[in-house]
């Protein structure tokens, strides 16, 4: 067997976007139990936009995330619970409460050029005894040299791992390889990769990341996640088994939780639709998908036009209000022409 790989499942966090943040406690318990029994080492539970994300801007959660974290922790006998924290959304109290609920890892997420806003959050994670990770989102939006610079900042703050995060599903395999290789040569901590499938490249990109030196890789069951979803966890297990990597995850049990639990409550299949394809093509944040669909209906414009304009504007997470501004402007242009 080749070197060990660590699979981190994000169904119960990234999948929150597709579920409109409406996971029930029973759904979380069933998924957590299945992931644990399959041998998944870490899985993430929180609002799609991280701790404290439940809001009018990002979407209100139907169930308090701390209750969901606690429920997941009760079901996990071996697996450890991860949470996502975005500086400016989640605060110290959120992370402290997550630890009380059972979290063992925190991934502190910033835009790929803004690691400097996360120093206190990384240090807090370490102080609380969590495995603490720097999560560089929208990795396609900065040159490799900038990515390396930001990763070094995270490392200097105490991050034990750095993630290259393809939030828009915009990277191509050679671009992933280039970024992971550059980090491998520049930092001494573990490297992870988080992909989205908007260009149907999530699995290929994950393979490229592993070949270049990443040892932590994200996936979601049945691809349940923002946009067209993430790299599919059960597929990753099968593929890396074929490639003789050791993941510690059993194929049949992980398939069972995907097909007999998650598939039953998914609101729709995670397909590459016209909108999610344009997200990958234009480099737009995957969690913008449902907001864009809503804005397109509200203003009577083509959602693809909204996404292309957002891509041109280099919109990033946290600018969800901009989606409606763009849709309104497109509608005004349309009516002025008529």
**Tell me: the pLDDT tens digits for 57-76?**
888 999 999 999 999 999 99
Quick one: fold of 6-265? TIM Barrel (3.20.20)
Q: What angle do CA 240, 139, 247 make, to 5 degrees?
A: 20
Pairing relation of β-strands 161-165 and 6-9? Answer: unpaired
Of residues 171 and 336, which shows the higher confidence score?
A: 171
Q: What number is the average pLDDT over the span 18-31?
A: 97
Q: Active-site positions? A: 17
Residue 335: is its pLDDT beyond 80? no
User: Which residue is associated with the tokens 């976007």?
Assistant: 17
Query: Using CA atoms, how far apart are residues 233 and 251, in angstroms rounded to an integer?
Result: 10
The CATH code belonging to domain 274-337 is 1.10.8.60
Residue 201 CB coordination number (10 Å): 23
Residues 247, 7 contacting (CB under 8 angstroms): yes
Q: Which residues contribute to the annotated binding site?
A: 13-14, 167, 194, 196, 285
Q: At 142, list the tokens.
A: 């900065």
Mean pLDDT for the chain overall: 95
Per-residue confidence band for 181, with pLDDT thresholds at 50, 70 and 90: very high
Of residues 248 and 320, which shows the higher confidence score?
A: 248
Query: Using CA atoms, how far apart are residues 289 and 307, in angstroms rounded to an integer?
Result: 9
Q: In which residue ranges of the chain is CATH 3.20.20.70 found?
A: 6-265
Q: Which among 150, 98, 154, 151 is positioned nearest to 122, based on CA atoms? A: 154
Q: At 240, list the tokens.
A: 């890396």
Residue 337: is its pLDDT beyond 70? no
Residues 58, 89 contacting (CB under 8 angstroms): yes
**Tell me: the pLDDT tens digits for 37-57?**
999 999 999 999 999 999 888
pLDDT for position 274? 84
Residue 133: is its pLDDT beyond 60? yes
Write the CB contacts of 291 (distance below 8 Å, at least 6 apart in sequence).
320, 323, 324
Residues 22, 62 contacting (CB under 8 angstroms): yes
Q: What number is the average pLDDT over the span 113-120?
A: 98
Residue 338: is its pLDDT beyond 60? no
Q: At 21, list the tokens.
A: 């943040």
Query: Using CA atoms, how far apart are residues 301 and 295, in angstroms rounded to an integer?
Result: 8
Q: Which residues contribute to the annotated binding site for Mn(2+)?
A: 14, 194, 196
pLDDT for position 178? 98
Write the CB contacts of 216 (distance below 8 Å, at least 6 apart in sequence).
5, 6, 8, 161, 163, 190, 191, 192, 193
Residue 150: is its pLDDT beyond 90? yes
How many alpha carbons fall within 13 Å on the CB side of residue 265?
A: 22
Can you give the pTM of this predicted structure? 0.92
Residue 299: is its pLDDT beyond 90? yes
Q: Which of 92-96, 134-138, 251-255, 295-299 has the lowest mean pLDDT?
A: 295-299
Q: Which residues contribute to the annotated binding site for substrate?
A: 13-14, 167, 194, 285
Report percent pLDDT > 70 for the chain. 98
Q: In which residue ranges of the chain is CATH 1.10.8.60 found?
A: 274-337
Residue 20: is its pLDDT beyond 80? yes
Write the CB contacts of 243 (distance below 8 Å, at least 6 apart in sequence).
2, 207
Residue 1: is its pLDDT beyond 70? no
Query: Using CA atoms, how far apart are residues 196 and 225, in angstroms rounded to an integer?
Result: 8
Residue 176: is it exposed, middle or buried by C-beta count within 10 angstroms (0-12/13-18/19+)?
Answer: buried
Query: Using CA atoms, how far apart are residues 316 and 313, in angstroms rounded to an integer?
Result: 9
Q: Which among 74, 77, 65 is positioned nearest to 37, based on CA atoms? A: 77
User: Which residue is associated with the tokens 């999560």?
Assistant: 135
């Amino acid at each position: 067997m080749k070197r060990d790989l660590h699979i981190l499942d994000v169904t119960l966090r990234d999948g929150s976007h597709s579920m409109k943040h409406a996971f029930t406690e029973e759904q979380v318990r069933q998924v957590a139990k299945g992931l644990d029994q399959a041998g998944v080492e870490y899985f993430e539970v929180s609002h799609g936009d991280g701790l404290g994300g439940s809001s009018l801007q990002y979407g209100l959660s139907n169930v308090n995330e701390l209750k969901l974290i606690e429920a997941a922790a009760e079901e996990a006998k071996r697996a450890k619970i991860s949470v996502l924290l975005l500086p400016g959304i989640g605060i110290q109290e959120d992370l402290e409460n997550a630890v009380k609920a059972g979290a063992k890892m925190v991934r502190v997420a910033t835009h790929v050029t803004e690691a400097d806003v996360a120093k206190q959050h990384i240090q807090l994670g370490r102080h609380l005894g969590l495995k603490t990770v720097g999560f560089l989102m929208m990795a396609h939006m900065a040159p490799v040299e900038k990515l390396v610079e930001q990763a070094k900042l995270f490392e200097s703050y105490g991050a034990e791992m750095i993630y290259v995060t393809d939030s828009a599903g915009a990277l191509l395999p050679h671009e992933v390889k280039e970024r992971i290789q550059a980090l491998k040569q520049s930092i001494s901590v573990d490297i992870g990769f988080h992909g989205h499938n908007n260009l149907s490249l999530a699995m290929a990109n994950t393979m490229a990341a592993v070949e270049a030196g990443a040892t932590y890789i994200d996936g979601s069951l049945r691809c349940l996640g923002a946009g067209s979803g993430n790299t599919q966890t059960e597929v990753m297990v099968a593929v890396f088994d074929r490639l003789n990597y050791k993941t510690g995850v059993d194929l049949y049990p992980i398939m069972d939780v995907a097909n007999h639990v998650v598939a039953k409550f998914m609101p729709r299949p995670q397909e590459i639709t016209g909108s999610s394809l344009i997200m990958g093509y234009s480099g737009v944040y995957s969690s913008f998908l449902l907001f864009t669909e809503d804005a397109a209906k509200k203003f009577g414009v083509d959602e693809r036009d909204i996404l292309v304009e957002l891509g041109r504007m280099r919109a990033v997470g946290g600018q969800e209000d901009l989606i409606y501004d763009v849709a309104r402007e497109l509608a005004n242009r349309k009516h002025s022409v008529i």
